[in-house]
Amino acid sequence: MNIFQQRRERLYQDFDQQSVIIIVGNTQKVRSKNIKYHFRPDNDLFYYTGFEEPNAVAVLRPHHKEPFAMFVRGKDVAAEVSFGERAGELGVQEKFGADIAYDIEKVYTVLPHLLEERTKVYYLDEQEEYANNILSWIAHQRRNTGFDVIKHYRQLLPFQPYIHNQRVIKDEVEISRIRHAVEASVHAHKQVMKKCRPGMNEGQLAALFDFEIASFGCKEVSYPSIVAGGRNGCCLHYENNNCELNNGEMLLIDAGAEYQYYCADITRTYPINGKFSDAQKTIYQLVLLALDSAISNIKPGVSWNGIYQTCVEVMTKGLIELGILKCSFEQAIASEAYRKFTVHKTGHWLGMDVHDVGAYHDAKGEWRLLQENMVFTVEPGIYIPEDCLDVEEKWRGIAVRIEDDILVTADGCENLSSGVPRTVEEIEAWMAD
């Protein structure tokens, strides 16, 4: 059994014979006129089918003799000459293990019949492609039978809570793909760090990152790379990447490769000229201390929010000692004064989506406890805007984020991205080399 079959089998065990699961894939989006964006399949559809073409719908029927039905684009010689091969109905059965397959153009007439006598319809359609049809599909049987035929009053249920809970715990195939995405990103970050010089443009370093990950078979980045010189680092999702890099300032680069639909997400901050100033070093080391303190506590059973709390406590103490926060520790925690400089939370699940799916709370609303084979980022940051006139001038304009990708193991964790230089000494040595 391949991994997609294994996942479907598990799903069939978890649902009863009253259930049907419908997963609608992505369509291709227009970039401009007749030019489309590069297509990326819906992650949930891919997770259960491995199918990578646009306009596909999977219908999964647990405990049925033909549990796996697919609607796909039909074969079309002219379209395939222009835009590439299609699997077609036969291909999706032969190569992807569908028990039955139909042309997607028949979805409106055929899909309602696939529901048969089943009464629970779990529906996932992130782009709302069939949002205007689903209610009539589930009512189709009772509306189109004789008055004395048994009617099926079906429930429409969300599929996301189930699948997104599955995806929080990564299987072996997922972990190996994430490892590869991270390995490619570590390599690319190291090359960018080595080549960074005053006078270069942010965009050149973004292009270099893309070039370096390509040799690892990574065709895309997981999100638009954030390559931010100096004060641009204070913009959390800066993506203009078109400024010159100035001597004496720092570069904040937040970039990750995607490998076979799995993401890396790594940030490093370092001096553009290869040598930290005293002020830059002080803030950098405080953020690194927060990151390392948080990572050293990670193991199964620890609360998700404990990671954030550790980062906040370390950074708040440090900011008070430096005179950047002008209050007591207790006051800063109670009033959340630290948020002025730490701005964001310190991590998220990582997987097929860079901000991966899955709840951060349990059924009782408590913070979730970490489990083996969860993968997430830890990414504390301190940002001191230039116009922050109530802090000493030497700190202004400094923005530092450090982000690593963490796998929870049976008794602790593994920092997958530790290979990119992290300490002041490692960074200065690597850039001088």
Q: How far is the CB of 250 from ligand GLY (least distance, A)?
A: 17
> What is d(CA 156, CA 144) in angstroms, rounded to the nearest whole number?
19
Beta bridge partners of 376: 349, 406
Is residue 404 part of the contact set for ligand GLY (CB under 6 A)?
Answer: no
**Helix (H) / strand (E) containing 376:** strand 375-378
Site string for Mn ion, 262-301 (x = CB under 5 A): ---x-x----------------------------------
User: Would you say 92 or 374 has its CB closer to Mn ion?
Assistant: 374
Which partner, Mn ion, ligand GLY, none, binds residue 430 by CB below 5 to 8 Å per kind? none
For residue 131, the minimal CB distance to ligand GLY (Å) is: 29
Of 375, 377, 430, the C-alpha closest to 403 is 377
> If DSSP codes are grouped into helix, strand and coil, which group holds residue 293?
helix
Applying CB under 6 A, does 254 fall inside the site for ligand GLY?
A: yes
Treating both helix axes as pointing N-terminal to C-terminal, what angle do 424-432 and 172-195 enclose, rounded to 10 degrees?
60
Give the nearer residue to ligand GLY in terms of CB position, either 71 or 341. Answer: 341
Q: Is 353 in the site for Mn ion (CB under 5 A)?
A: no
Question: Count of residues binding Mn ion (CB under 5 A)?
Answer: 5
- Token pair 């989506």: residue: 353
Angle of the 160-168 helix axis to the 3-14 helix axis, nearest 10: 130
Among 377, 378, 383, 406, binds Mn ion (CB under 5 A): 377
Q: Is 259 helix (H, G, I), strand (E, B) or coil?
A: strand
Indicate the SS3 state at residue 171.
coil
> Which of ligand GLY, Mn ion, none binds 223 (CB below 5-8 Å, type-dependent)?
ligand GLY
Q: Is 265 in the site for ligand GLY (CB under 6 A)?
A: yes
Decide: is 405 part of the binding site for ligand GLY (CB under 6 A): no
- Residue 69 near residue 101 (C-beta atoms within 8 A): yes
- 19 sits near Mn ion (criterion: CB under 5 A): no
Q: What are the structure tokens assigned to 296, written together?
A: 């050293």
> Shortest gap between Cβ of 347 and ligand GLY (angstroms)?
8
> Is residue 379 close enough to count as binding ligand GLY by CB under 6 A?
yes
Token pair for 248 = 């004496």
Encoding tokens for residue 181? 């995405």
Minimum Å gap between C-beta 47 and Mn ion is 21
Q: How many whole angstroms separate alpha carbon 238 and alpha carbon 218?
A: 22
Nearer to ligand GLY, 272 or 402 (CB): 402
* Rounded Cα–Cα distance for residues 99 and 321 (Å): 65
Within 122-181, the residues that bind ligand GLY by CB under 6 A are: none
Binding site residues, ligand GLY, CB under 6 A:
223, 254, 265, 354, 379, 403
Kindly list the residues in this chain that would bind Mn ion in the complex (CB under 5 A). 254, 265, 267, 377, 403
